[in-house]
Amino acid sequence: MNPVVEELEDINIVGSNIEDFDAPLFIAWQLNSACNLDCLHCCEEAGHKMPDEFNRDEAIDFCRQIIDLKIPYAAISGGEPMLCPHFFELAEMLTSNGVSLKVETNGMFIGDKEAKRFARLGMRSIQISIDGATAEAHEIMRKRGDFKKTVDACKLLIENDVNTEIVFVPTKFNIHEIGRAIDMAYCLGAYGFYTGKIMRIGRAAQNWGLLCPSEEQYAEAFEILKAKQIQYDGKMKVYYYPYDVIDELKYRLYHPAASLLVIPNGKVKLIGPLPFLCGDLRRQSLKDIWKRYKKAWKEKAVVDFTKRVINDPQLLCESNRWVELYLE
């Protein structure tokens, strides 16, 4: 099951085809590109602020469109979203108007004050990245990361009754710790533990030979995950997505998700692994972009390139070299 589909099922949304919907069910919003870390596997190649990122007024207008279209679910990520000065204002605007919100963060800027503020938001969940059961494994993946500070952020959130999910990206450096990482998540009181095959996008694609586990390592890890699902059944959700980016593209080419991926400058991508842009919130409304998105998946350029990527995964290195589609 696709993680987005699972999230939508959790909020009782049913639909079989994007043509069934007048608006997307899910918005994945990369709020900013700035980040305090320099992770080896970052899909967005985050680090520095984009020169043309949305300003506060543009971001608020986008939130209004999400609310007006009654889009039920959104996730805010980055970069590191907590570096955005109006992050909490946007999150509060969405949650106070009925949008089920997830926030994805590295946790490095969460102290007691921030944990209490997250608790007041009434979000669906917050997702913290912890890539190991030890500081050594976590910090080799997340340059400038701080394992203890991240774990302490989880403790603060959980103490304040914030649904906290831990996401773990398996690589050659940490896959041997996956069982202990799940045990750690449970001991912390996490709501859920999420993992799956590393996505071959961005810096992960550039560092693929260094990072990607073998199929044998994946098979062993998935057996551990199955056992942990049984061990923690009814106590903590243990979820893993066993398919890679190529499997995802094979499926999405004919079954696009009812979701939009918005990058920090307001442009809208078809899907993370492909470079195609189907809209620009500075030029089109969110409602119009949804129509363009449905049309874009049928474009010859998209179909042909996706098939090329499926046959030659090296092309995934081009996922962040954006290509604008002309869909007028």
Using the 8-state DSSP alphabet, how is residue 11 labeled? T
Closest of 221, 238, 242 to residue 2, by C-alpha: 242
CB of 325 closer than 8 Å to CB of 311: no
Q: In this structure, which CATH number among 3.20.20.70, 3.40.50.2020, 3.30.70.20, 3.30.420.250 belongs to the domain 3-12+21-324?
A: 3.20.20.70
Q: What is the pTM of this model?
A: 0.93
In whole angstroms, what is the distance from residue 326 CA to residue 190 CA? 44
In whole angstroms, what is the distance from residue 233 CA to residue 235 CA? 5
- Residue 30 dihedral angles phi and psi, to the nearest 5°: -85, 100
How many CA atoms lie less than 13 Å away from 97 in the CB half-sphere?
18
| pLDDT for residue 7 | 52
What is the residue-wise DSSP string for 244-310? Answer: -HHHHHHHHTTS--SEEEE-TTSEEES-TTS-EEEEETTTS-HHHHHHHHHHHTT-HHHHHHHHHHH
CB of 326 closer than 8 Å to CB of 296: no
| pLDDT for residue 242 | 87
Q: Residues, the chain, total?
A: 328
Beta strands 276-280 and 73-77 are: unpaired
In whole angstroms, what is the distance from residue 213 CA to residue 153 CA? 28
- 118 forms beta bridges with none
Closest of 151, 155, 87 to residue 121, by C-alpha: 87
In Å, the largest CA–CA distance within the chain is: 53
Residue 165's H or E segment, with its range, is strand 164-168
* pLDDT tens digits in sequence order for the chain, 328 residues long: 344 445 544 544 445 689 899 999 999 999 999 999 999 999 988 888 888 999 999 999 999 999 999 999 999 999 999 999 999 999 999 999 999 999 999 999 999 999 999 999 999 999 999 999 999 999 998 888 899 999 999 999 999 999 999 999 999 999 999 999 999 999 999 999 999 999 999 999 999 999 999 999 999 999 999 999 999 999 999 999 989 999 999 999 999 999 999 999 999 999 999 999 999 999 999 999 999 999 999 999 999 999 999 999 999 999 999 999 987 6
Beta strands 276-280 and 267-269 are: antiparallel
Cis, peptide link before residue 78, omega less than 30° from 0 = no
